[in-house]
Structure 1
């Protein structure tokens, strides 16, 4: 079975710590984590610790689409690693790594303006996908999700 890797990057004008925390707070997460215009979030349950599980119930055309996983690494504010399983992975575990790289100029002059000059590169790598259609669907979904995160911080 050929295993595919998807990588998406997005520069977001926000502090890495705040972006990182938005992935672990179920209430905040449900506000920005949307993978497309027709997709909604019905519920989010999170146990944000290594070994902790999550359930994201997305809704599409009246159907609930559960997305489940387990947190493997929580290295605040640098890296999250978790498994990801859904109908779109043929109900197989895949692996997602999200890193947060501070791109801000940290000179003394810029620190006076606090979060206004904070820029973070969010890199999402989704591994263990098994087909071109899985890559295509997840590329669309994760691209929209990172755009939703960007808009939430705008």
Structure 2
């Protein structure tokens, strides 16, 4: 990892294909890609190398718009994308890598967010990605219920 990076690893109770789809389908992203109170009001994705994404997250304190470009799209193993958000990166581009590895009946997911500008952003990103990973786990578990 480079300076200004955070890492979150979590084992999820779903296969890599389902986890990958949850990261790339805008309707599914709206259900879990929120680190705290609020909602993802809009989500648009074009998950191909060079494609873009946009999320509008509504927090009690206001709107946070996240935009970026997919750099690597390797289903169902890896996604790499730029991440630009005033709340997370001060409006600068950072890079997020999501790696999915089969682990028994589930998937070990590792999220690495690099090029974060300051320790305060790193601390916030660590907390946010930890919460988001928990939300994704709950989303996947809900889909598996009969």
TM-score, normalised via structure 2 length: 0.91
Task: Check if 1:141 corresponds to 2:128.
Answer: yes
**Number of the residue aligned with 1:113:** none
2:3 is matched with 3
Equivalent residue number for residue 72 of structure 1: 71
Kindly provide the CA deviation profile for residues 64-111 of structure 1, in whole angstroms up to 9, marking residues without a partner as x: 21011000000001000000010121100000000001011xxxxxxx
Total equivalences in the alignment: 139
1:131 is the counterpart of 2:118: yes
Distance 1:49 1:97 in 2: 15
Contact 1:94 1:126 in 2 (8 A): yes
The equivalent residue for 1:44 is 43
Take 1:122 and 1:60, find their aligned partners in 2: how far apart are those partners?
26
> Which entry has the higher C-alpha Rg, 1 or 2?
1
Structure 2 unaligned spans of 5+:
142-146
**Displaced runs of 4 or more, over 2 A:** none
Q: CA deviation at 1:3?
A: 3.4
Among residues 115, 138, 145, which one is paired with 1:151 in the alignment?
138
TM-score, normalised relative to structure 1: 0.87
Partners of 1:140 and 1:95 lie apart in 2 by 17
The equivalent of 1:119 in structure 2 is: 106
Deviation of 1:33 after TM superposition, in Å, equals 1.1
CA deviation profile, 1:44-79 (whole Å, cap 9, x unmatched): 011111101100100112622101100000000100
User: Is the partner of 1:55 in helix, strand or coil?
Assistant: strand
